[in-house]
Amino acid sequence: MRFATWESDGRVRAGVVGDAGLHPLPGGTTVLELVRAGLPAALQAGADALDGPAVPRDERIRLLAPLAPPTLRDCVAFEEHVEGVRKSIDGVGGIPPEWYEAPAFYFTNPYAVVGPYDDVPVPPGSRRFDFELEVAAVLGRDGASLTAEQARECIFGYTVMNDWSARDLQAREMKVNLGPAKGKDSATTLGPWLVTADELDGRRDDDGFLALEMRVAVNGVEVGQDLLSNMGWPFEELIAYASRGTLVRAGDAIGSGTCGNGGCLAELWGRRGELDPPPLRPGDVVEMTVEGIGTLRNRVVPGRDLPPVRAARPRPRARKRQA
């Protein structure tokens, strides 16, 4: 089942995607509320909604991100991506041995989530704007210190994710060893809907990974293609690690990290030693498709023209207060 959120005539509604269009959920129920009710209850609510009237998908409908996740973790689970981007960002080739020891992730900005067809502004001051093709899993239960088996039962569904990245800002701030900040927090696209886990479980390979094809194109020219099953860890292990010694909650989203083989421009820049293809510019259209889930299509637009950031002032090391 596919759950969506949309805006029409100034009103935001949530519902189920059907052949006839979008079937609203009753009583103003949100997708996040549905997720927190659990997958069995959500499937029943969705089935009931499909028996009701549908809203046609036309120009009056603006699809939004399927839900507003309270937290949004982004992992880095594709070995090929790490190898290329590391060379592009810090000039060092290879993969750090620490990557193999445990899944790495960071928290990104849940307030910057945008819809599957929204325009995306270039972050202020960036000249190396990039996309990142990912899939995000959305949790349907609370849990702490989960096993991988328990985590798999917690997954409500999946959505396509584009982790937009200002590579020049990211390269500077990661030298401070605190991870990405303004290089990553301007926009994250989720959508076009949230596909329930039961729809995709039959697409697992012999190792238990979801074998879904992932593709990304810029202005109609394909840049990258990979399989989701090339992750170093399956989603249940990413979630189990995220819950290790702490709490994860229903509605939280956990990104796979960017796929390899051109899942972002920076990977190709690192491998080729030049900005080929070039960074994203206003007017570029980025289209991402993940088999079994759907397609995102976002146009890059100019960002705000803000003054430069002021540098820190030199600080003396005086230990006494001036009179």
Neighbours of 145 (CB within 10 A): 12
Residue-level pLDDT at 232: 97
Which of 94, 235, 266 is closest to 163 using CA atoms? 266
Which superfamily, per CATH, for 72-301?
Answer: Fumarylacetoacetase-like, C-terminal domain (3.90.850.10)
How many whole angstroms separate alpha carbon 251 and alpha carbon 68?
8
Six token digits for residue 30: 């949100």
The domain spans of the chain are 2-64, 72-301
The answer to whether residues 41 and 100 touch, using CB atoms and an 8 Å cutoff, is: no
Residue-level pLDDT at 323: 65
How many whole angstroms separate alpha carbon 220 and alpha carbon 287?
8
Residue-level pLDDT at 78: 97
The answer to whether residues 15 and 34 touch, using CB atoms and an 8 Å cutoff, is: no
Residues of the chain with confidence (pLDDT) below 50: none
Write the burial class of residue 106 (CB in 10 Å: 0-12 exposed, 13-18 middle, 19+ buried): middle
Question: CA dist 55 to 8, 19, 169, 274, Å?
Answer: 10, 11, 42, 48
Six token digits for residue 221: 């020219």
pLDDT in tens, 118-131: 999 999 999 999 99
Residue-level pLDDT at 91: 76
How many whole angstroms separate alpha carbon 127 and alpha carbon 300?
13
Six token digits for residue 152: 């798999």
